[in-house]
Structure 1
Amino acid sequence: MIQQKEPDYVPMELDRDSHNFFALDGYEYIMNNKIPLMIKSLDPSAEVVNIFETKEARQILDTLRRYYKAGFINKDAALREPGGLKRGAKVFWKSSGGGPLSETTWSKDRGYKVVANPVTPSVVTTESVRGGIMAVNANTKHPAESIKFLNLLNTDPEIRNLFNYGIEGVHYTLDAKGQVVPISSKDKDGADASSRYAGVQYTQGNWFILNTMGGGYPDPLDKWEQFRQYNAGVVKSAVLGFTPDLSKMTAQTDNIEMVWQKYYPSLMTGSVDVGAILPKFNHELKQAGIEDVRKEVQRQLDAWRAVSR
């Protein structure tokens, strides 16, 4: 319907590093998507698999191919750089990872109302937790000061808000409810252009001491309480906390990533014939050593499970 009645819109926007569609079948990556070894998140006895050898992956790839041939997916998907939608981009559907109130943030960023619909359970995985880790470089000359700073960033609201929003009165103001309203200026084309310091919220530490956002599409005043409730209800992956040590297999993992870069973007966007390309992908993955890596990850996982139970 969108394709026919709204021809200016891309029905489905994908890029070369598109999101984990295999999560629809309950899979998570053991490391990251460039090493396509996955496991069923909620099965405590599941084995590690090359996802591209599974029937679930074949079904997903065939569906994406059908959508691409029907014109639903943007033709440049296999080449498009990953990232969020640009303001003014006419896109009907895009996949993304998010949590509670994500649509409020997306609506604010896009400048129009975005509606989000979760399609997988809220599962906390090792990969997702790893995205929130902050560390101090072992080679720093000031380790104690670095730790003191990280402590402030996670406990001092003034420091936390400074790094996320910039300087009050310069980059933002506070409204009557104490919510942040970015100070905007006009760009060279006369359009509104925010002058705020563009902190990336999820990379900087404790969220719960941040002021919420006001202005267009404001955050609810109880935003962080909603996040606490959400966090309390997530399901833990059966392999939460497991990270394999592949430091002795860097040659294999490097080769696997090179094969991944060759085939993954086109397969995962429906851009190529699955029946012709998928066997080549799996053949070259085996030549690169994916089966040796899979067996080593499985061995370490078995040992981890034996200790964890």
Structure 2
Amino acid sequence: MGFINKCILCHKGSASVSDDSNSLGSTIASAGETADTEEAGSQEASSDNEVPSVGYNVTWDDIAEITVVYPSMNTIQAGLGAVEDAINEITEAEINTHVTLTMIEVGNYDQQINLMMSSGEQADLIVTMPAGPSSFATMTSQKQLIDITELLESYAPQALAGVGDMIGGTQIDGHTYAFPCYKSFASGIYINMRTDVLEDLGLLENAENMTTLAEYEEIMEAVKASEKWGYLAGCASTDGHGAVLPLNGTVGFTDIFSETTFMDNLGDTLTTVGVRNSDDTVINVFASEEFRKNYEIVRGWYEKGLVYKDSATTQEMGASLVKSNIVFSFVNQVEIGSEASVDTSCGMDMTSVRIAELPITSGNLTKFTWAIPTTSKEPEAAAVFLEMMFTDERIANLFAWGIEGVDYEVDDNGVAHYIEGNETPAYHTVAFLNANKFIVLPWEGDDPELNIQLEEQMKTAKTSRYLGFACDTTTVTDEISAINNAIEQYKAQIISGTADDATFDEFLEKLESIGIDTVVDTYQTQLNDWLEATGK
């Protein structure tokens, strides 16, 4: 694996990393290095701020205008304009680029991205989502993303070097179509519960020591039965798309946490296909025993009144529903070591209990990516801005936490936190959507050395045998489009527990009739070729 040997720690827009002969990625230029003065567009830092140049390859004379599109996991931030202005103070001077930030509420993201693509509206750099029409798999199959292989080599070489061989997760037939949001891909599945409720009911110790879903169910039932907290739903969709159990097409949940199983979905963000336990056989995930069991678990909770009744239709995520005092708990995927981020998202202290640790797969790498769509008018400037997002901590922290001194402060240990009296600032988003989360300041509750710890943990994390495989689905575009429509029609009902058995079976029959077996066969053929070519 080409993991960077040390966490990328940037200082005022510069980047440095130690050389590692075992890494397939080149080392990132050090803070003191500047690009060859003959390289077109090398930008010198101004003497006013004494920011050393990273050596961005700016090859245009007139200022480039780019539009950057990304989701808001909560509401649209009132301070978006101020953050945009602060970013442009940097980008206009250093990479001759003006950036327009377009933030879209996560529940409307699929629809708006679809509209932008169909209307040809300018979008130069966008975030792709884990599933749906704005996912990496769907957008590549629809030929909505451009091949950025040469763009990264010419305009974002340090970002390319930083992710090393993990760029293979966003490649199809050797061509790169997106850049993974670089973070710790060592993650786990966690049950997150309101600590105040647990303490009030005397259940905190029970929660902290639980090892089964049955124990979790008992706690939800106790909350429901209590006079004080009975108005809270036991659990809810974690993702705004109905999933009460996250990664339900990849993780096989069982009552006993330690018996949880996994499938690699081979980078398919629709989770149509999967491979069990490195047996090299591609299957229809929705027809698998694992997916049926996941449905039965959630269906049981729903029938007992433990699942938030609007989980199939709400666009709010689990953390937002907790923050709004509607839900007691939710299950989600979290970077190992970043459990404190759940407290931030929920706006309160949460007790997080790990169900299982997940291996790193191509699906991790394509869950959230930065891509340049076919509607881009300035792809070169977009690639250079991506490079700046990866290497410049000023840009990274503006994206995540807003403006220092206005939206947040930094303590003596280098940890960001809300300004006293301003716990709901004009701008505050998430760190995991950054091109390089390792240069985002840790948030209050995190260890000051969190980024280094996460990067170290990632180096020793389990990896899937199929990491780096990506399927070219252009021959089954019609089938995938039909499958996506069926998923839109049925899946939210099934994974939220609202659908009955007849509806589930109807969904499976629908998938068979529209060619899911053809998609499975396509993946199987290409996987066989890839295994032979790589010698795995």
Letter of the structure 2 residue corresponding to residue 7 of structure 1: G
1:193 is matched with which residue: 407, 412, 424?
Answer: 424
The 1:166/1:80 distance shift into structure 2, 3 A limit, reads closer
Higher relative CO (CA 8 A, sep ≥ 6), structure 1 or 2? 1
Do the aligned partners of 2:267 and 2:361 also contact (CA within 8 Å) in 1?
A: no
2:481 is matched with which residue: 231, 251, 254?
Answer: 254
The 1:57/1:67 distance shift into structure 2, 3 A limit, reads same
Give the equivalent residue in structure 2 for 1:34: 270
Give the equivalent residue in structure 2 for 1:65: 299
Do the aligned partners of 1:31 and 1:37 also contact (CA within 8 Å) in 2?
A: no
Q: Quote the offset at 1:31 in angstroms.
A: 4.2
Please state if 1:122 is matched with 2:122: no
| 3-state SS of paired residue (2:315) | coil
Q: How many residues align?
A: 297
Alignment of 1:91-240 (within 5 A): 91-131=327-367, 133-137=369-373, 140=376, 142-183=378-419, 192-195=423-426, 197-214=427-444, 218-240=445-467
CA–CA separation in structure 2 for the residues paired with 1:278 and 1:142: 45
Give the equivalent residue in structure 1 for 2:54: none
Please state if 1:12 is matched with 2:222: no
Alignment of 1:71-86 (within 5 A): 71-86=305-320
Structure 2 gap segments, 5+ residues each: 1-221, 253-260
CA–CA separation in structure 1 for the residues paired with 2:505 and 2:367: 32
CA–CA separation in structure 1 for the residues paired with 2:400 and 2:366: 20
Letter of the structure 2 residue corresponding to residue 10 of structure 1: A
Q: Quote the offset at 1:289 in angstroms.
A: 0.6
Do the aligned partners of 2:471 and 2:526 also contact (CA within 8 Å) in 1?
A: yes
Structure 1 gap segments, 5+ residues each: 187-191
Do the aligned partners of 2:483 and 2:516 also contact (CA within 8 Å) in 1?
A: yes
Letter of the structure 2 residue corresponding to residue 56 of structure 1: E
- Note the alpha carbon deviations across 1:106-140, whole angstroms, 9 max, x for none: 11232211122222223111111123543445665
1:286 is matched with which residue: 499, 512, 533?
Answer: 512
| 3-state SS of paired residue (2:389) | helix
Letter of the structure 2 residue corresponding to residue 233 of structure 1: T
Give the equivalent residue in structure 2 for 1:189: none
The 1:58/1:153 distance shift into structure 2, 3 A limit, reads closer
- Note the alpha carbon deviations across 1:74-102, whole angstroms, 9 max, x for none: 22222122524222324232111111233
Letter of the structure 2 residue corresponding to residue 208 of structure 1: F
Give the equivalent residue in structure 2 for 1:2: 223
CA–CA separation in structure 2 for the residues paired with 1:211 and 1:259: 41
CA–CA separation in structure 2 for the residues paired with 1:84 and 1:112: 13
| 3-state SS of paired residue (2:264) | strand
- Note the alpha carbon deviations across 1:176-205, whole angstroms, 9 max, x for none: 33332334767xxxxx5212x334322222
- Note the alpha carbon deviations across 1:246-284, whole angstroms, 9 max, x for none: 11211111111111122211111221222x223211111
Do the aligned partners of 1:38 and 1:50 also contact (CA within 8 Å) in 2?
A: yes
The 1:235/1:88 distance shift into structure 2, 3 A limit, reads same
**Percent identity over paired residues:** 22
Q: Quote the offset at 1:38 in angstroms.
A: 1.8
Give the equivalent residue in structure 1 for 2:495: 268
CA–CA separation in structure 1 for the residues paired with 2:507 and 2:394: 51
Q: Quote the offset at 1:35 in angstroms.
A: 5.0
Do the aligned partners of 1:164 and 1:201 also contact (CA within 8 Å) in 2?
A: yes
TM normalised by structure 1 equals: 0.86
CA–CA separation in structure 1 for the residues paired with 2:293 and 2:372: 43
